[in-house]
Chain A
Amino acid sequence: MNLNNCHPFWQSTEKKPQPHMDQLLKRHKRQSAILKFNVCFEALAILSVCYLLVWAYIDGKGLLELVWIGFVTFWAIAIFVLTVKSRLDSLNQLKSENISTSLEVHKKLLRNEIYRWTLYAKGTWIFILGFGLFNLSICYSDVCQINNFALEGGLLLGLLASIAFYIFRNRKAKEVLKTLEQ
């Protein structure tokens, strides 16, 4: 095949049916709505955790439980704020006209994505550490129950699996960034 003159051959490939633009635009709007819904849902989850902390304090829970709920609340708020900040930056980039014409915007989006995957992985490790410390202190101060061990073991496995997923996605995003930078 002569690659210098094969453009007519390339251009004669089977043509796909043209999409309906109105349907595409509707789908795009729907996706934006889902994204906003997710942010609202996460904000509600944060509010619920805060409410739980206040309620635990009013209810006169023990110091250990208060420290644990306080830790989870602080952890959730920190992750949420950092994620939303990064997401907003990405959304601004996505809204800008440059998204269609500049490679730098794509690199910026990838860096934001890598930052979020790293944040989720590190955040989950911190949660596991806090969770472990909480359980250890319970074991020292109270009676350890086998039933709880099974439940907590399951949770721990789930968290470790999610870390593996975050690391996998992080690595993939880094590979794409490396390709773009080349």
Chain B
Amino acid sequence: MVSITKDIDKEEVIAQFWPQISRAASGYESRPALSDELAQEMALSVWRSLEGFNDQCSLNTYIYRVIHNTAIDHIRRHSRISEDELDEATLCESPTPEKSALQAQRQHQLIIAVNKLPLSLRQVMLLKLEDLNNIEMSEVLGISEANVGVRLHRAKEQLSTLLAGMN
């Protein structure tokens, strides 16, 4: 049993996983204010669930599982209404230097396209974007590797179509 109980250790874990947490939040929630709130909820859930961590899987898998279930909880509570209008607003934001503006614009497009995927496909795509392999994804989501493969294939197809539609 290697549960993490000390606050200082928990802070360390949160700091280590914060980039993944904030990216997952923007992948699940395109509205900026709610995305920040979701990221905070995810950090809080990770903090609270660290004491329950034991050797059943790697810390990485465990934290991704917590993050993605918190996102589902968020979706449960904030049913999404007329997101398309907000998406358009987000797309118009662009920083000044041309190159970074283009990069930021493409990143925004990717975030919005990921947000438009159905939940089951979005989950695998977000994990893929975090560079998890199929075995890790199946552990995080509690589904078979074959199912992960099928979902990932569909997610890529849909994402390509969505991104092509944006260009």
Residue ranges of A at the interface with B (Cβ–Cβ < 8 Å): 1, 3-4, 6-7, 9-16, 18-19, 21, 24-25, 28, 97, 99-103, 106, 109-110, 113, 172-173, 175-176, 179-180, 182
- B26-A100 in contact (CB<8A): no
Complex contacts, A175 vs chain B, CB 8 Å? 79
B107→A9 contact, CB < 8 A: yes
Are A21 and B72 touching (Cβ within 8 A)? no
Within 8 A of A (CB), among B92-115: 104, 106-107, 110-111
Partner of A3, one of B15, B66, B131, B156: B156
CB-CB < 8 A to B79: which residues of A?
172-173, 175-176
**Distance of A14 Cα from B131 Cα, bound (Å):** 18
Residues of A close to B7: CB separation below 8 A:
21
10 more A-B residue pairs beyond the given contacts A6-B110, A179-B75, with a C-beta to C-beta distance below 8 A: A1-B160, A15-B19, A21-B47, A97-B49, A103-B72, A109-B73, A173-B76, A173-B79, A180-B72, A180-B119
The 11 sampled A-B contact pairs (Cβ below 8 Å) are A7-B128, A16-B18, A24-B43, A97-B49, A100-B46, A100-B48, A100-B65, A100-B69, A106-B72, A175-B79, A180-B119
A11, B66: Cβ atoms under 8 Å?
no
B14:A11 contact, CB within 8 angstroms: no
Given contacts A11-B130, A15-B19, whether A179 and B43 have CB atoms under 8 Å apart is no
Task: Let me know if A182 and B119 touch, CB within 8 A.
Answer: yes
B120 near A: Cβ within 8 Å? yes
Closest-CB distance, B58 to chain A (whole angstroms): 14
Q: Which residues of B contact A (CB under 8 A)?
A: 7, 10-11, 14-15, 18-19, 22-23, 26, 36, 39-40, 43-49, 51-52, 62, 65-66, 69-70, 72-73, 75-76, 79, 104, 106-107, 110-111, 118-120, 128-131, 142, 156, 159-160, 163
CA distance A1 to B166 in the complex (A): 12
- Taken together as a complex, chains A and B put the C-alpha atoms of A109 and B104 apart, in Å, by 38
A15 to B19, CA, bound (A): 6
In the bound complex, residues from chain A placing their C-beta under 8 Å from that of B39 are: 16, 19
Closest 7 CB pairs of A and B: A172-B79, A97-B52, A10-B129, A100-B49, A100-B66, A16-B22, A7-B131
Q: Cβ of B110: which chain A residues have Cβ within 8 Å of it?
A: 1, 6, 9-10
Contacts of A101 in B (CB 8 A): 49, 52, 62, 65-66, 69
Q: In the assembled complex, how far is the CB of residue A116 from the closest CB belonging to chain B, in whole angstroms?
A: 13
CA distance A118 to B147 in the complex (A): 35
Known: A3-B159, A9-B107, A25-B47. A16 touches B69 (CB 8 A): no
Nearest A residue to B131 by beta-carbon distance?
A7
Chain A minimum-CB-distance residue to B22: A16
Complex Cα gap A13–B22 (Å): 10
Evaluate contact between B129 and A179: CB separation under 8 angstroms: no
Query: Which B residues lie within 8 Å of A103 (CB)?
Result: 69, 72, 142
For B120, the chain A residues whose CB sits under 8 A away are 182
Residue of A nearest to B79 (CB): A172
The answer to whether B119 and A28 have CB atoms under 8 Å apart is no
Chain A residues with Cβ below 8 Å from B118 are 179, 182
